[in-house]
Amino acid sequence: MSRILIVEDEDSIADLEKDYLELSGFEVTIENNGTDGLKAALGEDYDLVILDLMLPGIDGFEVCRRIREEKDIPILMVSAKKDDIDKIRGLGLGADDYMTKPFSPSELVARVKAHLARYERLVGAGQKTNDVIEIRGLKIDKTARRVWVDGEEKNFTTKEFDLLAFLAENPNHVYTKEELFRQVWNMDSVGDIATVTVHIKKIREKIEYDTSKPQYIETIWGVGYRFKI
């Protein structure tokens, strides 16, 4: 049974979410402030977190960021303001999904199920002896460091491969160019982030059908990139 943590300070909303999720067979725990929510998320074994943005104690932005530093479980953020959704995206906190209040409980349940299923697939894929990521027509063999697009092998340089593999392993997370530079080039970025742009362009030329409408690596204007699944 999947365990879900709700971090929400409005009791009526938290109870409603809990009722619907329990009816769908989930085990649900509620924490009503950011401090306890973060402690529970990090200290216990939850499969998914539903995280309100405005919380007493530590706010949802910070809770999300700190969970993501240690765990890759799905995080679904909820907020009363539409503007906040853009802010959450822009900050690249690593949330997997966003919902604006009020939302229908059945939509929440549907999204929770979708994220859990996706996460289980990713975790399952990571446990194979061949460390292979397959998304639509793209196949990345991390063990052999080889890439195929629709069955046709493409040649990648070391850094192109590292960048593609990193993005594909962390789908739907928005990364800034600075973050990608640090991740892949393993040093502190000092204004050399143009390298990232150049590598993204080369990767797209190899994996995208139409580089002007990328289906894998999406540009988030003014922020960075994300791998779409």
H helix count then E strand count, the chain: 8, 12
Please tell me whether residue 149 adopts helix, strand or coil conformation.
strand
Nearer Cβ to Ca ion (54/99): 54
Q: Which residue is nearest to Ca ion (CB)?
A: 54
> CA separation (Å) from 118 to 69, 96, 100, 171, 214?
20, 11, 22, 11, 21
Q: What's 140's DSSP letter? A: E
What is the smallest separation between the CB atom of 55 and Ca ion, expressed in angstroms? 6
The dihedral through the CA atoms of 175, 178, 179, 184 has a sign that is: positive
Nearer Cβ to Ca ion (55/180): 55
Nearer Cβ to Ca ion (29/183): 29
What is the smallest separation between the CB atom of 151 and Ca ion, expressed in angstroms? 49
Nearer Cβ to Ca ion (80/114): 80
> Is residue 9 at the binding interface for Ca ion, with CB under 5 A as the rule?
yes
Q: Which two tokens stand for residue 126?
A: 């990571």
What is the smallest separation between the CB atom of 52 and Ca ion, expressed in angstroms? 4
> Is residue 208 at the binding interface for Ca ion, with CB under 5 A as the rule?
no
Nearer Cβ to Ca ion (10/218): 10
> Is residue 59 at the binding interface for Ca ion, with CB under 5 A as the rule?
no
Among 16, 40, 42, 54, binds Ca ion (CB under 5 A): 54
> CA separation (Å) from 24 to 4, 19, 46, 106?
12, 9, 16, 10
What is the smallest separation between the CB atom of 159 and Ca ion, expressed in angstroms? 42
In the region spanning residues 33 to 52, those forming contacts with Ca ion, defined by CB under 5 A, are 52
Please tell me the distance from the alpha carbon of residue 59 to that of residue 64, in angstroms, as a whole number: 9
The rounded Cα 78 to chain-centroid distance in angstroms is: 15
What is the smallest separation between the CB atom of 150 and Ca ion, expressed in angstroms? 46
How many residues sit close enough to Ca ion to count as binding (CB under 5 A)? 3
What is the smallest separation between the CB atom of 80 and Ca ion, expressed in angstroms? 7
Torsion of CA 101, 103, 108, 109, to 10 degrees: 150
Q: Please give the single-letter amino acid code of residue 141.
A: D
Q: Which residues bind Ca ion (CB under 5 A)?
A: 9, 52, 54
